[in-house]
Structure formats: structure tokens, C-alpha cells
Chain A
Amino acid sequence: MTASQIIFYILAAFILGTAILSVTTTKIFRSAIWLLFSLIGIAGLYFWLEVEFIAAVQIVVYVGGIVVLIIFSIFLTQQSGKEMLRPSMMRAITSALAVLFGFAFTYFLIYKNDFKAGDKSFDWSVSKIGNQMLATGENGYALPFEVVSILLLAAMVGCIVIAIKTPVAEKQDTIDIK
């Protein structure tokens, strides 16, 4: 049992443990923080897998962007210290059983399968990623790159449109639908 194996197992346990805590805790702010830890754990896993670039992207975008966004929205919409509602026992048990069944089924398929490992070594560099990203020939990712940038633009515009406050005169109509 080499050290890297031990480190892998610790990282795996950390990721899964914090994920479970994230989905089961009753305080919303704590749930966001456990999510933060889980994402950091995944970044750590990428570091362990020697794909540092992805790890960096993960930390910058996911941890630094999305989780912060989530925490802002928690502050905007409710008291963060308040206890959340628990799901009904029936719902919890049914979901747990369904999920366990799904997990067992999927892992059974994976276990049965024989993955043929590749034999070359995995070498990458940021310049290679950059070149291939903007390449237009075979194996080039220029088109998805452009599409994703348009998607980001659309998402930005869409968020503004959805979240914009309606003018004061019409606001009287949007009273509680409940």
C-alpha cells in the first residue's frame, strides 16, 4: 500500500463524506459549506491525478464562483440560520432505497466490465490544450468553444431578463399567488 494509494482513499472518503453531509444537514449555510469542501476535495483528486489545469479551473470557477453565487442567493432569500424543513419519512426512505438500488445496479455493471487500460503514458500541457481548443481541423474544438461562448452570453442576458424587477405600476398584480 503506497502512500499515493492511501492519499487517494483519504481523498475519496473526504469527498463522499462531505457530499453526504451536504445533502442531509438541516442548516442551509452549513450545507453550502459542506458542498464547498466537497468541491475542494474533488480539486484535490484532480491534483492527485496530475491534471493540474482542471484542478485549477475547478477551484476558480466552481469553488470561487458557483458556491459564492449560491451563498449570495441564500442571503438574498432567507435567514441563513433558520432550520430547513425535513422531508417526510416516506420520501426519505423511498429515495434512499431507490438510490441504493440504482447505485448497486450501476456498480454491478461497472464491476462486471473489463476496462482495457491504455498503454501509453498520459502527457498533456496547457499549450497543447490551448492549441487543440482553437484548432479548426480534425480533433479541433473551435466550434464547441464558440458555441459555449455564445451560450454564456445567452445565459447572462437570460439571467438579467428573468430576474429583472417589473416596473412599479405593475407590481401590484404580482401579489402572492399562494
Chain B
Amino acid sequence: MNYASYIALIPLLPLAGFLLLGIFGRRYLKNSSGIIGTGLLLVSAVLSLYTAYNYFFVDGKVGDSYQTITAFKFTWLSFSENISIDMGIILDPISVMMLVVVTFVSLMVHVFSLGYMKGEERFPTYYAFLGLFTFSMLGLVVSSNLFQIYMFWELVGVSSYLLIGYYYDKPAAVTASKKAFIVTRFADLGFLVGILILAFYGETLDFKTLIENLTSQQSSQFLAITTASFVGISALTWGLTLVFIGGAGKSAMFPLHIWLPDAMEGPTPVSALIHAATMVVAGVYLVARLFPLFIITPVSLSIVTVVGVVSAFLAAIIACTQTDIKRVLAYSTMSQIGYMMFALGVSGYNGENGLGYTASMFHLFTHAFFKSLLFLGAGVVIHFIHSNEMKDMGGLRKYLPITNLSFLVACLAIAGIPPFAGFFSKEEILLAAYNSNKIVYGVALFTSGLTAFYMFRLYFSIFWNKQTEVHNHHGEGPFSMKLPLVILAILSVLAGFIPFGEYVSSDKTALQSHFDPMFSIAPVAFGVIGILLAMWMYKKESLKAEKISQSFGGLYKAAYKKFYIDEIYLFITQKIIFNLIGRPAAWIDKNIVDGLMNGVANTTASVSGFIKGIQSGKVQSYAIYFFGGIVALAVVFLYLWK
């Protein structure tokens, strides 16, 4: 099957959209830019589905396992005979799955934005940025080379910066976009160092060859990388941990999560696309891509697990206290990605042991659908009420029937209630955790209860509870805003039934998933308890919530203030880094470096001023110089010239 003929179109069509709308959009294509962007992406999505169909069902499988197909490759920069930066497209189960997810969710967001962003002054620019983002993300998931993924990683960061700061006249949005970019860039420092370590010892940057070199126990590269060590830890562990730090930054894992809640300043469809379904899962994708290497370094893998669990738990607690609906969803995203991370962390390799890997990817797949649905629904609510705060909302089920129903479906999915999609994926994660580490299992179980609680707190606060008076007369929104909600809701119901293990697994052979009803009782029970608690507290207007929060006292306050992590960061950067490093560096630059240059210039100027004085116009001075010159020349020629 010749993939190369059309596979490059999938990322390039959104790029064409970016260039077209970016250059010509403001002047010529103001009204049609939405249609153009959506149309290009529709073609891309259809091509991705076709690729998926071909890969999974027609000829991707050779023998028992799926093959990694390199659709094309060309060498861009060659550093040495082995290490070179190639641009290539690789097709294997996770990359094809991601192609489908990214293009599909992006398409839904494009359609939704037709209605949501209508009337916006910079409408074409918005669609151009969406195209750029989609191109970068698609390039990231099909990268065949470690450096290529880094390049697209940075491009995704830039697109995210542009989109978060879309409303650039709001200072909060500008600050948020800067924060996102700086935090992820800082994490990418670790990523780059990790890449360099791996490339140096592995002697190649290509994923396939790198994994082959470093996993076979007899290869020279494996020997080199495991014997070289720094502070007692082998170079392989260092490399992978640093790469994971880069991934943790992009996926908003603790403690690099501070940018994600602030990133909600961007338009809501952008949050649905970037901060729910696609960009934030890039870190998980990276770990999955390098999974064979992570398996042989248990230290790195346990770091992944710990970070994932802590993020999941912490985010769930904070989400219980937030009042801005988008912030609740942001913390929910952080929590769910934590689930995906620790699922990878507790996974093994080969067959049954690789359950965690499959579960993580499955959860990524289903989460994309119901989380983007939640964000789009929140977008409809915000569009209707013109406010983000829960206290301004209530009883909206009368005005927004379709949103009410789809939001409810998504909340049931995320809470893990059968037969919705989230149940299947979350249950597999919990099973993988149970099989390897009971503590992780316990924390994850408790967190899933919290998840159900805060999601239904959100649902009831918006659509039930008190009755708000609504004065505007526009309805739920145009058809372009309702259609994606319906499609995503249907998928949130059906996606769980896909036998994911058949297609995606750690060693690319089919994984039989067992459905164990006895095991599922515990998670479902926790979920139902969470829902009932939320219903008791929030369905009717009452003071129960306030009384309970007061009884928690200091803990509630700490959670509401997001555990003061932002304040700690601010302290470290302002008091320590700025004062101890920034200010002296600026002083040195201004006084010593600049001073040196200015000194040179001033000296030159004064010397030239002095020399200028020789041209005084006084004839006698000229006579003296003349005479002096003659005498000097006479002395030189008579005595010194040999």
C-alpha cells in the first residue's frame, strides 16, 4: 500500500490553510476563511480515516504484529555518518491513532468556531493559527526522528502561544500566553539535553534505529550508555528522565502545570483543541514512543509513575474548589493526563504485561472526545451567559437543552459509569495499576471518586441549582455550534466498545482484554458515591456546600489557592533568580560590557579630537611640524636606516 502518495497531505493541508489565510485572509477572504479552513481540515480528516482503515484493517499487519512503516524520509542535515536530522513520516499503531484523533477533534473545533467566533474582527487570523497548530501537531505525531519531533514540539508551543494570546488586548491573556511558552520552553531545555545524550550514545537520531541500538543487550551503544554515568546514575536514565521532563512540561504535570489553568484565557474552542485533546497529550505520546527504552530503566519509569499519580491526585483536589468553569475543566484535564502517565508508568512490556500501555492509549483516545465535548459545551454556556463564573449560572437546562444532554453524557463518561467510553478505558488503567502497585491503585481509585464528584458539582451548578434570569434573546447557538456537540456525544458513548487492545499494544501484537465484572465494582461504586454526594450538595440551591467547605477550614483554603504553587514559583523567580542572577547580569552587561564599548568609543573620540587639534589653521604650528618632520627624517635616514 503506497502511503507515501497521500500521507504527506495530511499535515500539509492545514499548513496550506495557515499560509493562505495568514497572508491573504485579512484583506480578501474575510468571510470565507472559516469555510476554507474547515474544508481543508475535512479533507485531512477523511485522509486520516482512510489511512487508519488501510493500516489497521487492510495491510498493516504482518504476521501477528503491526509493522512500523516509514512512508517517506529524506535527509535534511547530516552531522556525521550516523547522526543526521531526517524528515520522515512513520506509521505505527499509535501514530495512526493520533492522526485520527487530532484531525477529528480539530475538525470539530473548526466547525464549532464557525459559530462561536462569528463577528470576530480577526476571524481569518484565528483560522490561520488553528491551521498552524494542526499542522504542527500532526507533524509531531508522525515524526520519525527524535530531532524532528523536537522541532514540531517547539512549533506546537509557538502555535499555542499565538492562540492563547489571541485576545492580545487583554493583559491577562498576554501574561498567560507568555507563562505557557516560558514554562514549556524551560521544560524543553531538559528535553534537548536528553535528546543530545541519547543521540550521542545511541549514535543515531532516528527512532527505529535508536530503539534497536539501545535495547539489544549486545550492542556497543547499549554498553556505552549504561556504563557512562554521572553522579552514580547511568546516562540512559539521565537521558530518559530529561526527555520526560520535557514531556511533563508540555503535558502540564506537577510541578510544571502552572501554565494550564492560566491558558484558559484563550478562546474556548482553542482550549478544547489544545488543552484537552491534543497538545497536552504530547508528553504522553513521547513516553509511549520511547516506551521500549523506558522499560529497561526502571528508575525513569517509576519517576513517570510518581509524577503521574501526584498530578492526578493534586489536580482532582484543586478542581473540587474552583469556581471558574474553565479552570475546573483545566484541572480535570491535568488529572486525566496524570492517569495516562501513570498507566504508562506501571506498564510492562510484551503481551499481558503491556496492559498499562494499551490502557493509557485507550484513555487518550476516549478522553479526547469527552474532554473536548466538555469544553465545547462550556463554550456554549459562556457564549450564552457571557461569564465564566459558576455563581452567575444555574438552571440553564431550560435554555440549553442540547448542551445539557451532551454535557451530561460527557460527565457520565469521565466519571467512569458504564456503558460510556470513560468506563472502559479507566477500568483498564485501574486493572493495570492493581496488577503492579497496590498503593497507586488505591490513590487512583480515590481520585476517580473525586473526579465524579467535581464533574457533577460542575454539571449541577451550571444546569440545576438556582435559577438565573437570562436577559438576552439569542438561543443556544447556531447549527455549527450544536453539531459538534452531538457528534462528540455519540462518540463518547460508542468509543468504549472498540477492542483497543487488538490494535494498539506495547509490542504491537494483539492484546486480549479481559472484562472482569467483579473488578469493576469498586471503581463504579466510587463513581456513583461521588455523583450522589454532588447531587445532594448542588442539585438544589442550599448552603450545604459552604458549611462543608468551612468545616475543612485551612485545607479548603489551600486547595482553593491551588496549594500556593504559583506563589512559590513567583517567589523563586522574582526574589531569587531576578535579584541574584538577573540584576547582577544586567549590571555587568550595562556597565562592564557596554562600558567597555563606550570606553573604546570615547577614547577614540578624544584621541581624534586631539589629532583634530593639529589642524589648527595656525601657520606657525604647521611650520614647526614641518621642521620637526624634516629633522626626524634626517635622523632616521642618516643614522637608523641600515
Question: CB atoms of A and B under 8 A apart anywhere in the complex?
Answer: yes
Chain B residues near A47: list those with CB within 8 A. Answer: none
Q: Are A102 and B631 in contact (CB under 8 A)?
A: yes
A-B contact pairs, 14 of them (CB 8 A): A91-B620, A94-B624, A95-B624, A98-B624, A98-B627, A98-B628, A98-B631, A101-B631, A102-B627, A102-B631, A105-B631, A105-B634, A105-B635, A109-B638
Give residues of chain A (95-132) contacting chain B, Cβ–Cβ below 8 Å: 95, 98, 101-102, 105, 109
Q: Which residue of chain A is the closest to B638 with respect to CB atoms?
A: A109
Nearest-Cβ distance from residue A110 to partner chain B, whole angstroms: 13
How many angstroms between the C-alpha atoms of A95 and B631 in the bound complex? 13
How many angstroms between the C-alpha atoms of A95 and B626 in the bound complex? 12
Nearest-Cβ distance from residue B314 to partner chain A, whole angstroms: 83
Give residues of chain A (60-116) contacting chain B, Cβ–Cβ below 8 Å: 91, 94-95, 98, 101-102, 105, 109
Chain B residues near A95: list those with CB within 8 A. Answer: 624
Nearest-Cβ distance from residue B9 to partner chain A, whole angstroms: 82
Q: Which residue of chain A is the closest to B623 with respect to CB atoms?
A: A95
A95-B624, A101-B631, A109-B638 known; 11 new pairs, CB 8 Å cut-off, are: A91-B620, A94-B624, A98-B624, A98-B627, A98-B628, A98-B631, A102-B627, A102-B631, A105-B631, A105-B634, A105-B635
Nearest-Cβ distance from residue B291 to partner chain A, whole angstroms: 87
Binding site for B on A (CB under 8 A): 91, 94-95, 98, 101-102, 105, 109
Chain A residues near B624: list those with CB within 8 A. Answer: 94-95, 98
Give residues of chain B (585-642) contacting chain A, Cβ–Cβ below 8 Å: 620, 624, 627-628, 631, 634-635, 638
Binding site for A on B (CB under 8 A): 620, 624, 627-628, 631, 634-635, 638
Q: Which residue of chain B is the closest to A109 with respect to CB atoms?
A: B638
Chain B residues near A91: list those with CB within 8 A. Answer: 620
How many angstroms between the C-alpha atoms of A111 and B208 in the bound complex? 95
List the 4 closest A-B pairs by CB distance, nearest first.
A102-B631, A98-B628, A98-B627, A105-B631
Chain A residues near B638: list those with CB within 8 A. Answer: 109
Nearest-Cβ distance from residue B279 to partner chain A, whole angstroms: 78
Nearest-Cβ distance from residue B370 to partner chain A, whole angstroms: 93
How many angstroms between the C-alpha atoms of A109 and B634 in the bound complex? 11
Chain B residues near A109: list those with CB within 8 A. Answer: 638
Nearest-Cβ distance from residue B640 to partner chain A, whole angstroms: 13
Chain A residues near B631: list those with CB within 8 A. Answer: 98, 101-102, 105
Q: Which residue of chain A is the closest to B634 with respect to CB atoms?
A: A105
Nearest-Cβ distance from residue B170 to partner chain A, whole angstroms: 67
How many angstroms between the C-alpha atoms of A94 and B620 in the bound complex? 12
Chain A residues near B634: list those with CB within 8 A. Answer: 105
Chain B residues near A98: list those with CB within 8 A. Answer: 624, 627-628, 631
Q: Which residue of chain A is the closest to B635 with respect to CB atoms?
A: A105
Chain A residues near B620: list those with CB within 8 A. Answer: 91
Q: Which residue of chain B is the closest to A102 with respect to CB atoms?
A: B631
Nearest-Cβ distance from residue A163 to partner chain B, whole angstroms: 20
Nearest-Cβ distance from residue B639 to partner chain A, whole angstroms: 10
Q: Which residue of chain B is the closest to A106 with respect to CB atoms?
A: B634
How many angstroms between the C-alpha atoms of A4 and B15 in the bound complex? 113
How many angstroms between the C-alpha atoms of A94 and B624 in the bound complex? 9
Chain B residues near A101: list those with CB within 8 A. Answer: 631
How many angstroms between the C-alpha atoms of A54 and B43 in the bound complex? 115
Q: Which residue of chain A is the closest to B631 with respect to CB atoms?
A: A102
Nearest-Cβ distance from residue A68 to partner chain B, whole angstroms: 25
Chain A residues near B635: list those with CB within 8 A. Answer: 105
How many angstroms between the C-alpha atoms of A101 and B627 in the bound complex? 11
Chain B residues near A102: list those with CB within 8 A. Answer: 627, 631
How many angstroms between the C-alpha atoms of A102 and B628 in the bound complex? 9
Nearest-Cβ distance from residue A90 to partner chain B, whole angstroms: 11
How many angstroms between the C-alpha atoms of A98 and B620 in the bound complex? 14
How many angstroms between the C-alpha atoms of A114 and B638 in the bound complex? 17
Nearest-Cβ distance from residue A12 to partner chain B, whole angstroms: 24
How many angstroms between the C-alpha atoms of A172 and B635 in the bound complex? 52
